[in-house]
Amino acid sequence: MAFDKELKNYYIQQISFIREQNLYKQEKQIQSPQFASIDVEYPKGVNKDGIINICSNNYLGLSNHPEVIKAAKETLDTRGYGMSSVRFICGTQDIHVDLENKMSLFLGMDDTILYSSAFDANLGIFEALLDEDCAIFTDSLNHASIIDGTRLCKAKKIRYANNDMDDLQLKLEEEKDFRIKLIVTDGVFSMDGIVAHVDKICELAKMYKALVMVDDSHATGFIGKTGRGTHELHNVMGEVDIISTTFGKALGGASGGCISGRQEIIEILRQKSRPYLFSNSISPVVVGGVLKVMSMIMESTDRRDKLEINSEFWKKGLREAGFILTNTGSPIVPVMLFNAKLAQEFSADLYGEGVYAIGFFYPVVPKGKARIRTQISAAHETEHLEKALDAFIRVGKKYDILGRSREEILDRYPISTSL
């Protein structure tokens, strides 16, 4: 150890630099379970109860549903708390196999393999399946975990412009000579809420003999008529070769993820995928909860239907008030503010009004595209949304951005002064 003054100062400087750029991330402490309204301690020492949460991935409102809690408790009693083992040593229970089967059934795939998180699933899939004589065609806005997974893989990486099918086709045309080609995309892009053209991707894949992988972390459980995901929405169930998704968002929100896909692919992952072989099995108590979530959403579409109604209400309200939204096709509704500092101040003011929604800015989104990302949940009642809308409008008026175009907002809050 030689963590001397000089080294310490080096890191202190790095951190100040992050602060100066207005990129510092501050965490607020929640003192209640995750729900439509939460109790928060922020700033330190100040407790505020009943804040409306409009930025969680709790899309179906199942993260603390009484039935999910009950199932988790029953599993604690019958299968315990932790496994203290990776899957292939002594970390596989009957319920892990049950969950894999249930996911395959729900997503309409051959087989499924669980991971500690969707992050780890994406981290471990590419290297296990592809070598240096293969190619990955990857959307430029894919999630960080996909980027890291492809960084760990020797295959050639070819980026195409976000959701741009002409560009994808161009790249497929240019880069033909590979043993295996894989197109990978997020099903719903998490920062914009836009749904990928999964149908068009499948068509191109057929033409150019490529595999298709979709990360449906922001889709599984609620996108499509029965909530199967973007492949259901786009009528290509059975045509997507690989789906990765998470249990950490709509499906209970505790933790864990999986990859569902062709039989042989899943088997290879079980033998070779490093995060699967070298990280702990999902804990039984979490598995018990997800199993319940899956039964609930396979029995009824009530929750996803309510989410759809809520999302429509919310988007309509914001648009009518004069906010600029993205062309979203999901419960992810970004309110565009463009300027990072404005996004942070807007968020702080919303919090003052009893609404929790945080600002997103570089490097999470591109420079000049700062925003408040709102996310709707089936746990929201109309009164939550009405109250939140009121707050947005009040704060919007304060900053005088309602009904303004992007240029007008940028005029008032030029990017050069901050970011």
Partner 1 sequence: MAYSDKIRGIYTGTLNEIKEKGIFKQERPIHSAQAADIEVEFPMGSDLKKVINMCANNYLGLSSHPDVIKAAHAGLDSRGYGMSSVRFICGTQDIHKELEAKVTKFLGTEDTILFPSCMDANAGVFEAILTADDVMISDRLVHASIIDGMRLCAALHDTFKHSDMAHLEEKLQLHADKRLKVVITDGVFSMDGDTAKLDEMVALCEKYDAMLFVDESHSSGFIGKTGRGTHEKCGVVGKIDIITTTFGKALGGASGGCVSGRKELVEMCRQKARPYLFSNTIAPVVVSGVNTVLDILSKSTERRDKLEKNTEFWRNGLAEAGFVLKEGDTPIVPVMLFNAKLSQDFSKALYEEGVYAIGFFFPVVPQGQARIRTQVSAGHEIHHLEKALEAFIKVGKKFDILGKTKQEIIAMYGN
Ligand X SMILES: Cc1ncc(COP(=O)(O)O)c(C=O)c1O
Q: Which residues bind ligand X (CB under 6 A)?
A: 86, 117-119, 122, 143, 145, 186, 190, 215, 217-218, 246, 248, 257, 278-280
Cα angle: 145, vertex 225, 110; to 5 degrees:
55
Which is the catalytic residue, given 96, 143, 234, 249? 249
Tell me: does residue 1 bind partner 1 (CB under 8 A).
yes
What is the bridge-based pairing of β-strands 355-356 and 47-53?
A: parallel
Which is the catalytic residue, given 218, 231, 292, 380? 218
Which residue from 48, 76, 161, 415 is in contact with partner 1, where contact means CB under 8 A? Answer: 76
DSSP 57: S
Name which of 147 and 415 has its Cβ closer to ligand X: 147
Name which of 117 and 339 has its Cβ closer to ligand X: 117
Tell me how long the chain is. 419
Active site residue 145: no
Size, binding site for partner 1 by CB under 8 A? 116
What is the contact mask toward partner 1 in residues 129 to 158, using x (rule: CB under 8 A)? x-------------xxx--x--xx------
Contacts from 411-414 at CB under 8 Å and sequence distance 24+? 413/337, 413/338, 413/339, 413/341, 413/342, 414/339
Distance CA 252, CA 102 (A): 15
Which is the catalytic residue, given 63, 145, 190, 347? 190
Name which of 160 and 323 has its Cβ closer to ligand X: 160
Q: Using CB under 8 A, which residues numbered 288 to 347 contact partner 1?
A: 289
Least separation in angstroms between CB 43 and partner 1: 14
Sheet holding 211-215, edge to edge: 111-115, 257-261, 242-246, 211-215, 181-186, 135-139, 156-160
The two tokens of residue 77 are: 């009693």
CA atoms within 13 A on the CB side of 220: 30
Q: Among 167-175, 281-289, 309-317, 393-401, which window interacts with partner 1 (CB under 8 A)?
A: 281-289
Distance CA 186, CA 195 (A): 8
Residue 193's binding partner among partner 1, ligand X, none (Cβ under 5 to 8 angstroms by kind) is: none
- Is residue 186 helix, strand or coil? strand
Which residue from 186, 215, 232, 241 is in contact with partner 1, where contact means CB under 8 A? Answer: 241
Write the DSSP assignment of 204-263 as a string of letters: HHHHHT-EEEEE-TTTTTTSSTTS--HHHHTT-TTT-SEEEEESSSSS-SSS-EEEEE-H
Name which of 143 and 315 has its Cβ closer to ligand X: 143
Name which of 145 and 150 has its Cβ closer to ligand X: 145
Active site residue 249: yes
CA neighbor of 277 nearest in space, from 403, 88, 134, 41: 88
Which residue from 52, 72, 337, 388 is in contact with partner 1, where contact means CB under 8 A? Answer: 72
Active site residue 369: no
Active site residues: 190, 218, 249
